[in-house]
Chain A
């Protein structure tokens, strides 16, 4: 695969009906580029968790993707409450989500750990009261 592409999706907080649309579109782009299915699955899972986080917690956000021959890089930036303790937020099972989010099947404290699990590199930057930026990378040419 020697094509490259990049783009951005805009996300609106609390718009649960659209949760997953950006990740679904990203998945379709990766499929169109002929990326390996297992790599697409990891990227889609990480993107979806990040997208759901923005919709749950933030007012708005954006998902920027760039796909090159070597990697898929996704940056999800939001205008949200920020994460006071990133280490704690990375702990499986730790969540601050309200009950109605749990009733939808999310907010079990697996979002960030899932993103880390599905990607090759995850960086989290957050400022309380301003927002959070996640940057994650999935390598494309892994030598298995």
Chain B
């Protein structure tokens, strides 16, 4: 699924300058615990979270994740946005809840981590 489709489904706003809407997103992972993201997420996926600090960007960077969606309309501060731009990780914000966000994307066919993923 393209990042642009995800943006449409979630009625999301792009926060970072580097929002390549053609970016292909394979899977999604959602958590507020960054250690869980580091342990269980997979590459080329999108991170859905309610946390907005700079550690979220670092976590996505280390775990090779493609983009981040902040839920509940939560927006990170300008320093966090700048860090994401520097690391070329697009940031989006949606007013939907975590559950609502995941549900909408799942319904449209975006999958999570599979049991086969290591």
Partners in one complex: yes
Interface flags for B78-97 (1: CB within 8 Å of A; 0: not) read: 01000000010000000000
**Chain B interface mostly:** helix
Inter-chain contact A105/B32, CB cutoff 8 Å: yes
Within 8 A of B (CB), among A45-82: 45, 47-49, 52
- Indicate whether A111 reaches chain B with its CB closer than 8 angstroms: yes
Inter-chain contact A48/B59, CB cutoff 8 Å: yes
CA distance A52 to B62 in the complex (A): 13
Given that A20-B62, A23-B58, A105-B56 are known contacts, is A114 also in contact with B38, CB under 8 Å in the complex?
yes
Residues in A with CB closer than 8 Å to B33 are 105-106, 108, 110
Residues in A with CB closer than 8 Å to B64 are 37, 41
CA distance A105 to B34 in the complex (A): 5
Residues in A with CB closer than 8 Å to B53 are 104-105
**Could you say which of A17, A105, A113 contacts B59, with CB atoms under 8 Å apart?**
A105
- Indicate whether B115 reaches chain A with its CB closer than 8 angstroms: no
Within 8 A of A (CB), among B65-105: 79, 87
Given that A49-B38, A110-B39 are known contacts, is A105 also in contact with B63, CB under 8 Å in the complex?
no
Inter-chain contact B43/A114, CB cutoff 8 Å: no
- Indicate whether B35 reaches chain A with its CB closer than 8 angstroms: yes
CA distance A139 to B63 in the complex (A): 19
- Indicate whether A24 reaches chain B with its CB closer than 8 angstroms: yes
Q: How many residues of B contact A (CB 8 A)?
A: 23
Inter-chain contact B55/A19, CB cutoff 8 Å: yes
**Could you say which of A48, A110, A113 contacts B62, with CB atoms under 8 Å apart?**
A48
Inter-chain contact A45/B61, CB cutoff 8 Å: no
A and B contact pairs by CB, cutoff 8 A, 9 listed: A23-B58, A23-B62, A49-B35, A104-B53, A105-B49, A105-B53, A109-B35, A110-B39, A113-B39
Beyond A44-B62, A106-B55, 6 extra complex contacts between A and B, CB < 8 Å: A19-B55, A20-B62, A23-B62, A106-B33, A109-B35, A114-B39
Chain A to chain B: the 9 pairs with minimum beta-carbon distance, closest first: A20-B58, A110-B35, A105-B34, A44-B62, A48-B62, A108-B33, A45-B38, A105-B51, A114-B39
Chain B residues within 8 Å of A, Cβ to Cβ: 32-39, 43, 49, 51, 53-56, 58-59, 61-64, 79, 87
